[in-house]
Amino acid sequence: MDSLLLTLIELQAFDTRLAMLEAEAARLPAQIEAIHAALASAKKALDALKTKVDTTKKELRTKEKDLEVVTAKRQKSETRLWEVKNNTEGDPGPHGAPGEARRGRPGGRGAIQAA
């Protein structure tokens, strides 16, 4: 009778283990579905971030081009201001032709002239 009792106890342990495995097997599809949903959500967020990065890169390129244009305009304005300040635009001056630079600038009276 002892061996029969031991076999019954062993059978009960297997039955308990089987019940636990069946319960875990029932939970797994729900866990898998939750993981798939989280993955889909993460992919959506990634796509949104990629789109935002692309948009930001395009805006950056546009702003860099705008900056180049503004820098060129500024340089042109500074050159024009220098010409006006130094009276080198269209004014013949005391001994020079209109547009001739002065004060040591190339082509002006203070510059070394080629012979």
Reported as a single tens digit per residue, the pLDDT across 20-50 is: 999 999 999 999 999 999 999 999 999 999 9
Q: What is the dihedral of CA 82, 87, 88, 89, to 10 degrees?
A: 90
User: Which pTM does this prediction carry?
Assistant: 0.49
pLDDT at residue 115, as a whole number: 42
Identify the three-state secondary structure at position 90: coil
Nearest residue to 105 via CA among 49, 53, 69, 93? 93
